């Protein structure tokens, strides 16, 4: 079996990475030893659609880029709650936290699929990217299926190839640590228009066919994710243990701090409100043709697993 993420060296999809590296998928009977990287998120979802992948840990709304109107896909569990990207601007621009107007006239890097969140957020804040000359586009160097976007964005900002970026907490932390970037918006924690918090969220996604024909594998994957949430909450050292196997040294040093900040959002629950607000955003952005029922988006038959990992006697320290 194969699972992939659109960004590997980051905190965004870390519960799925931890579930693989700590052996939780295998403990549940799934032949998954590692998480693969396939960038950007539209391609990740396309690979799920064509059967190359069995699961994707990615942005929930991006599922619609390969499964129009949610036909053929289901969300299994949330990897975390709320939209999880940061707006970072060059430090020498002098922008302050919360000053979204500072983006006017700037060149902002954002990954394909991820950029929808920024574009809608700006409109919500009264900023028209065309009128206000905000250029939103790819980050120089962020090409190829194995690129780590956050790292690439921080490097491009440092080299002044862009004026800012919209990316994960790892990219933001690197930019701040190198003193080349300033965090202007952390949407998950309340910055920016309130509606933006629920545009999307990180989720475990699979096909409707798997849910119907192989429900045991879908349930097993959810249990592995929920177990990863609990283990990371109980022992942050496990985050460093996982990162040490696959992250560069600097990012390995940062990951426990970033995961600690994310722990309040480690809840596998997918609420009806979250789906409704995400679908409203998707309609606004032309990704969805009309309202879709909650149970046509979420594999609700597994919702009882969101609060219990069903460890089946395995000890958390085992891998």
Give me the numbers of helices (H) and strands (E) for the chain, helices first please.
11, 10
Q: Which two tokens stand for residue 91?
A: 């430090």
pLDDT at residue 315, as a whole number: 36
From-to residues of CATH 3.40.190.10 in the chain: 3-81+201-305, 86-197
This prediction's pTM:
0.94
User: Of 233, 296, 221, which Cα lies nearest the Cα of 264?
Assistant: 233
Distant-in-sequence, close-in-space partners of 7: CB < 8 Å, separation ≥ 6: 13, 37, 39, 111, 148, 149, 150, 168
Q: In whole angstroms, what is the distance from residue 167 CA to residue 173 CA?
A: 10
* CATH of the domain spanning 3-81+201-305: 3.40.190.10
Q: Which two tokens stand for residue 44?
A: 């990740």
Q: CATH homologous superfamily of domain 86-197?
A: Periplasmic binding protein-like II (3.40.190.10)
Provide mean pLDDT across the span 228-233: 98
Q: In whole angstroms, what is the distance from residue 147 CA to residue 139 CA?
A: 11
pLDDT at residue 220 greater than cutoff 90: yes
Can you name the residues that pair with 165 across neighbouring β-strands? 88, 109
User: What's phi and psi for 109, nearest 5 deg?
Assistant: -90, 135
Provide mean pLDDT across the span 200-208: 98
Label residue 144 by pLDDT band (50, 70, 90).
confident
Buried b (16+ CB within 10 A) or exposed e, 209-240: ebbeeeeebbbbbbbbbbbbbbbbeeeeebbb
Neighbour count for residue 260 (Cβ, 10 Å): 14
- Report, in this order, helix, strand and coil percent for the chain, each rounded to 5: 45, 15, 40
| Cα dihedral 288, 294, 295, 298 in deg (nearest 10) | 80
Side-chain-facing half-sphere of 274: CA atoms under 13 Å: 23
Q: In whole angstroms, what is the distance from residue 130 CA to residue 26 CA?
A: 49
pLDDT at residue 182 greater than cutoff 80: yes
Label residue 145 by pLDDT band (50, 70, 90).
confident
The runs of H, that is alpha helices, within the chain are: 14-21, 24-27, 41-49, 115-124, 149-158, 169-177, 208-213, 215-234, 237-246, 249-262, 272-284
Q: Which two tokens stand for residue 153?
A: 């964005």
Can you name the residues that pair with 186 across neighbouring β-strands? 86
pLDDT at residue 308 greater than cutoff 50: yes
């Amino acid at each position: 079996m194969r699972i992939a993420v659109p960004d590997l060296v980051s905190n965004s999809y870390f519960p799925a990475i931890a579930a693989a590296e700590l052996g939780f998928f295998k403990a549940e009977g799934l032949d998954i030893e590692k998480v693969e990287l396939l960038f950007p998120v539209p391609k990740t979802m396309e690979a799920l659609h064509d059967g190359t992948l069995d699961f994707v840990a990615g942005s929930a709304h991006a599922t619609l880029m390969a499964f129009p109107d949610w036909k053929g896909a289901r969300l299994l569990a949330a990897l975390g709650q709320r939209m999880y990207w940061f707006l970072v601007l060059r430090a020498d621009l002098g922008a302050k936290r919360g000053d979204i107007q500072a983006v006017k006239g700037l060149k902002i890097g954002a990954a394909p699929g991820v950029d929808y969140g920024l574009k809608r957020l700006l409109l919500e804040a009264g900023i028209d990217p065309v009128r206000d000359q905000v250029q939103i586009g790819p980050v120089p160097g962020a090409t190829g299926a194995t690129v780590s976007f956050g790292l690439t964005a921080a490097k491009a900002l440092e080299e002044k190839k862009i004026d800012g970026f919209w990316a994960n907490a790892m990219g933001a932390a690197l930019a701040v640590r190198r003193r080349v970037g300033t965090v202007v918006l952390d949407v998950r924690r309340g910055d920016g228009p309130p509606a933006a918090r629920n545009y999307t969220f990180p989720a475990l996604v699979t096909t409707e066919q798997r849910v119907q024909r192989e429900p045991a594998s879908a349930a097993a994957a959810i249990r592995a994710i929920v177990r990863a949430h609990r283990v990371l909450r109980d022992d942050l050292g496990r985050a460093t243990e996982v990162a040490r196997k696959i992250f560069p040294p600097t990012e390995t040093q940062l990951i426990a701090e970033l995961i600690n900040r994310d722990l309040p959002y480690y809840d596998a629950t997918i609420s009806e409100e979250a789906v409704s607000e995400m679908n409203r955003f998707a309609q606004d952005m032309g990704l969805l043709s009309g309202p879709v029922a909650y149970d046509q988006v979420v594999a609700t038959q597994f919702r009882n697993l969101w609060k219990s990992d069903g460890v089946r006697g395995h000890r958390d320290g085992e891998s």
